[in-house]
Structure 1
Amino acid sequence: MPAEQPLVPVTSPTAVPAAAGTVTTTSSLLVTDDGSGPMACRNGNWQDLSPPACQEFAITGWDWDPAWDFEEKDGVRWGTFQMVGTFDGETFAVDEVSQPEPEPYESDFEIPCPTPDGGWQVADPSRTTQDAMLGLGNVAEDIPGFAMVAVSTSAGQPGPRDPMDAVVSLYVAGDPAAAEEIVREWWGGMLCVTQVEHSHDELEKVQMALLDIPGMNEVGSGNTDNQVDLVVLNDDGSIQQWVDQEFGEGVVVVESNLRPVG
């Protein structure tokens, strides 16, 4: 039997990789044009600017269609579009442009604990108050191994205003029993404590290390999957391979904004 070949180390990405073949954007991009040619980007603080500034990558083959929904001010045109075309790492050559309606937000949150026998029950109504619910964040953050906290209804819907209908889901990388004991000193409402692999502090360090990745559009770690989500303009697989090597498999999940058509 031949010996296994050693894994070839992958270096930290230094440029946005080119895309193979025809690709499509997975969400709408901001496109701006100040007269010197259209530029595009996915994220940023441009929502508060009028006109916005956006210079992530250049676009060729673009022609502003009067039928499109876009704005114009001080000689700058801008709008949000989805595109199909090719990308060489610096320039997107457009074949098709569309402006689909944004999809409505739908929560996919599930309480990570099974429903107790008899359903979710408030343990102590005297400590199930608005003040107790609002102060939970500060209490939870001091728990050893704290990862995150989420508040939902007993049906898993987000944002209940009534503390008596709120299930607090606490995620900890430490001892769940010890964490529950600490929280119960403050909160008497419905409570789920679940153990995860990585603490908030651990994932935050990983998140900070990814801020300078070329083409980085968004990075965050406050999710119930207990991982860092990294959104980049394009990943040909090398970025995911590098983060797996650097931080361990499953710690960072890379989402590419450009994906092969079909």
Structure 2
Amino acid sequence: MSRLRVLRISAAALLGGMLALAGCAASPGSAPPSSSDAPAGQSLGSLAPAPPEAEVVGEGTVIDVDGTVEVCLGPVAESYPPQCSGLPLRGWAWDDADGAESSGSVRWGQYALTGTYDGSALTLTGAPVPLALYDPPARTDPTGGEPGSTPESELTVIQDELPDRLGSTGYLASYPDDGRVWVDVLWDDGTLQRAADDDYGVGVVIVRSALRPAAL
């Protein structure tokens, strides 16, 4: 199974039906306060990363419905117009964005965004870059390409738990692959990865942050 990535939806692809997703998706929300007193085996959902102090970069679909603008950093339905539940986006202006499409009261496009994240919304600090023109930096594979050893049946159980365990801390999607569960979240500074290691064992669950420091 290929790793789930941010969907770059073309106009032709938007005419299709709903995209079949390997993992379940959930709407990102504000994170609960950080805590170091999580019960044993319950670190995920009890611990939450603090919002980043510096600028971050994310790639996703910006959707404007009747003037309400959100950026979807996870799965997007290939309906026409597209649909998703995303992160509120502040400071957005379509005059600054090339490559947008529209249908009725909905306007959308796929962009790389630079801004600040306060735990509840992304505020733009730079001009959006159409994804078709964006060259993202390569991400390091934390596994070094080594497969995991957790049985598929156990991985499925873990994956089924993750939406509820991580929903309040920005869960986006997850899937099992190569002996591990890969989970995409809105933001992680390492807190959620450490919590997953505590709960399931080191390297069983790999947490990937959709927002990443802009300085990297």
Q: Matched residues, percent identical? A: 28
1:199-235 alpha-carbon deviations (Å, 9 max, x no partner)? 1101111111112323222211123xx2111111111
> Which TM-score applies when normalising by structure 1?
0.56
Cα distance in 2 for residues equivalent to 1:67 and 1:80: 10
User: Residue 125 of structure 2 aligns with which residue?
Assistant: 95
User: Residue 45 of structure 2 aligns with which residue?
Assistant: 13
User: Residue 24 of structure 1 aligns with which residue?
Assistant: 57
Cα distance in 2 for residues equivalent to 1:66 and 1:92: 16
The RMSD of aligned alpha carbons is 2.8
User: Residue 208 of structure 1 aligns with which residue?
Assistant: 160
User: Residue 241 of structure 1 aligns with which residue?
Assistant: 194
Q: Highest CA radius of gyration, 1 or 2? A: 1
User: Residue 88 of structure 2 aligns with which residue?
Assistant: 58
> Which TM-score applies when normalising by structure 2?
0.67
Cα distance in 2 for residues equivalent to 1:44 and 1:209: 18
Instruction: Write the letter of the residue equivalent to 2:106.
Output: V
Cα distance in 2 for residues equivalent to 1:99 and 1:24: 13
Cα distance in 2 for residues equivalent to 1:61 and 1:19: 18
User: Residue 113 of structure 2 aligns with which residue?
Assistant: 83
Among 65, 69, 74, the alignment partner of 1:38 is 69
Structure 1 gap segments, 5+ residues each: 1-6, 104-111, 113-170, 172-195
Which is bigger in relative contact order (C-alpha 8 A, separation at least 6)?
2
Cα distance in 2 for residues equivalent to 1:56 and 1:20: 21
User: Residue 16 of structure 2 aligns with which residue?
Assistant: none
User: Residue 260 of structure 1 aligns with which residue?
Assistant: 213
May I ask how many residue pairs the two structures share in their alignment?
A: 164
Structure 2 gap segments, 5+ residues each: 1-35, 136-145
Cα distance in 2 for residues equivalent to 1:16 and 1:242: 10
Q: Per the alignment, in what secondary structure is the counterpart of residue 211 of structure 1?
A: helix
